[in-house]
Structure 1
């Protein structure tokens, strides 16, 4: 069964165990070349013992996590994308280890309660976590009071929300006080390499025009040689050349987005490519694939 995440781990038995749980039993070792491993394996979540500067992929960092006697998993929900990731990580781990999961948040007054309640319930629905608890308190420490000694706390990385400042701000490093340990998660947006199709059509520059027109499944098709993008060809332009002509006679300069750009960057090229596939390349010009 395909997991919610495609995971990788860096150093440590607990990081590997967590990565495999999040990846439904499958995770890869990052090795030294994090970026190329992530691109090759389409990794969307890294489990590592330190919060790195690497920002191409979402991160999960365990703090004093005790997995042997784990009884439940709780996500502390604030605002922003880190909390959304926390909810999905919580659900994935609960599914893997067959333990209860819950989303818990704190509101400071009645004015906040309605908005907070709507957000947490929506996250619960999206992630598949059944249990939701909304605490009225002046401190996020109230969440810790709901945990037992074998409960894992999942919390978003430091950010702008009040709840995250409570956990990580000066004098409020509550994440390290979680009795069963904490898993700090940092969200990164989907990158272009995450969105490439499993297979997409690519022509070689020496292919003849008649064959290219027969195979074409889009108005514009990438052209690659030795694994590198060398151009694009508009199928309509091939009509101006004899059937035996090579694709390269109608080829235009390469157009692409970098593998680490946000996936939505492909939208900027849709019109220019007549709605055809958007080539995605690594920093060395190697063609990774196309976003359809």
Structure 2
């Protein structure tokens, strides 16, 4: 038996949110079409995807299969055809990729100007309140999505409620009740969908995605103290020789130094963040360093960017 509970929120008017600034796509299928919907001037990448994504500070990758690594969030289209889509259904559970599924699904619905619905499943009547809370939590940042909770022992039956002109968006393999049924071996939700599908896989936001060009924020060790104080816009600055990070220098130290001395005499060691680290570590470094350009390095110790906020 399958029963359905409907909860509907009226769409509220809001300014159109911007597309992702840095979207990349790989050759294959409808990847470019999806990338153009989700991004501004999407970039075609080839070769080592991780390196290309990091070097180009990519925020979202549209590709024909998920990379083994999780450097950036990724979207895999299956049979995508924008002209054939009249609605978007977003299947969610408690897995880690459901928030991204909602975000991507809403973006597609908004770009194509079609209705969108977030759908979840629950096994027993006692689980309905949890399902409703899940929908409220996941759709809180959105403005135009309706929600539906379906009672069923097999979440794959969600596809029975969808027409062939409905785009289905769901997360990659996770660990929740709904995700196990959607993505377990031989039981993939994608294979049961009547229409086109987008499968999404989230990843932590990483330092390279928010870092800015270090030009103008770093100083050379040979620079005179007086010149360094003139160019430093923050209480400290990274010290770099031939791209390699040597440490930092603090303005309050230079103020009391001989103006004719060089920065090299006042360099402090610093634990920089690597560019593929998650941004969770920024707050700890900020507490230690204070206000200023936090240095971001590659695996060779070269300064590749700084984080200002």
Give the TM-score taking structure 2 as reference length: 0.87
Alignment partner of 1:228 is 2:228: no
2:105 paired residue among 87, 90, 112? 90
Alignment partner of 1:17 is 2:33: yes
2:171 paired residue among 149, 156, 159? 156
* CA distance in 2 between partners of 1:9 and 1:232 (Å): 37
Contact 1:49-1:62 at 8 Å conserved across structures: yes
Equivalence for 1:35: 50
Q: Note closer, same or farther for the CA distance 1:258–1:148 as it changes in structure 2 (3 Å cut).
A: same
Alignment partner of 1:168 is 2:183: yes
1:37 deviates by 2.6
Contact 2:21-2:59 at 8 Å conserved across structures: yes
1:196 paired residue among 211, 215, 222? 211
Equivalence for 1:289: 305
Equivalence for 1:277: 293
* CA distance in 2 between partners of 1:96 and 1:54 (Å): 29
* CA distance in 2 between partners of 1:47 and 1:128 (Å): 25
How many residues align? The count is 291
Equivalence for 1:108: 123
1:35 deviates by 2.8
Contact 1:237-1:250 at 8 Å conserved across structures: yes
* CA distance in 2 between partners of 1:34 and 1:284 (Å): 19
Bigger mean CA offset, 63-72 vs 184-193: 63-72
1:157 deviates by 0.5
* CA distance in 1 between partners of 2:116 and 2:20 (Å): 16
**Matches for 1:8-87 after TM superposition, within 5 Å:** 8-23=24-39, 25-87=40-102
- Match of 2:296, SS state, is strand
* CA distance in 2 between partners of 1:244 and 1:2 (Å): 49
Deviations 1:11-65 (A, max 9, x none): 1140111111111x42111221323332333212111111220211111112233
Q: Note closer, same or farther for the CA distance 1:27–1:276 as it changes in structure 2 (3 Å cut).
A: same
Give the TM-score taking structure 1 as reference length: 0.91
* CA distance in 2 between partners of 1:272 and 1:232 (Å): 12
Contact 2:74-2:201 at 8 Å conserved across structures: yes
Consecutive unaligned residues in structure 2, runs of 5 or more: 1-16
Deviations 1:237-263 (A, max 9, x none): 223421122212211235311100111
Equivalence for 2:8: none
1:198 deviates by 6.1
